[in-house]
Chain A
């Protein structure tokens, strides 16, 4: 079992709809959770961080964390073609020296 798992996609979403991305992790002592966006040929860009159970909203993005289920998700509301990218879920354990463990990424395609 991979430490951090994501559906590779592509997740095809019509413009204006909600894109829902899921991520599961195996290490129960994980403490910090991040969503990064990576455009083709570019480096990852931080979108959201979440540390406690529940929802966290920032603009059109909402991250949801459920530590009991070892599950973190990202919702993108009013999806735009510019949201088309690969979204990387990353998990951090302080005991691991703040190293991030990445999922394989979910490719999102927003169609006009």
Chain B
């Protein structure tokens, strides 16, 4: 159980285009999803917290107008990188929280590798 999928797994795009990444919880409902970014040889960096039906909460330094997050249902959150530039090239990973008893655990999707040319 607790499977999270992401689509696409890899995307190459031209500078200035927008890219949408989907994150789905396949076998559970996730009230909260998180979006991370990871540059090579660095640790995960939390970008934003996404709650179903409400606006995402962005971490300091993350531009909300550049990284649009929509969490329309309990199983789907999307991240849109608008007007992507080469410096946005990174590994984007989502996670979804599954409740077990009174504890919540984050399960990660397989990630989306974005390359902006």
Contacts and interface: CB of A to CB of B under 8 A. Distances in A.
A51 B107 contact: no
A102 interface: yes
Interface in A70-112: 88, 90, 92, 97-100, 102-105
B67 interface: no
Contact of B105 (A42, A46, A103, A104): A46
Per DSSP, chain B at the interface is strand
B103 A51 contact: yes
A51 B103 CA distance: 9
Interface residues of B, number: 19
Interface string B88-107: 00010100010000011111
Interface string B44-57: 10100100000001
Interface string B24-58: 00000000101000000001101001000000010
B110 A98 contact: no
Contact of A88 (B44, B46, B97, B104): B44
Interface in B68-89: none
A98 B32 contact: yes
What is the interface residue range for chain A against chain B?
A: 20 to 34
Greatest chain B CB density within 10 A among A43, A100, A102 is at: A43
A34 interface: yes
B43 A44 contact: no
Question: Which of B46, B93, B103 is most buried by chain A, counting CB atoms within 10 A of its CB?
Answer: B103
Contact of B44 (A34, A44, A92): A44
A6 to B, nearest CB: 9
A43 B110 CA distance: 5
B103 A49 contact: yes
A51 B100 CA distance: 12
A43 B108 contact: yes
Contacts of B46: 99-100
Nearest to A94: B104
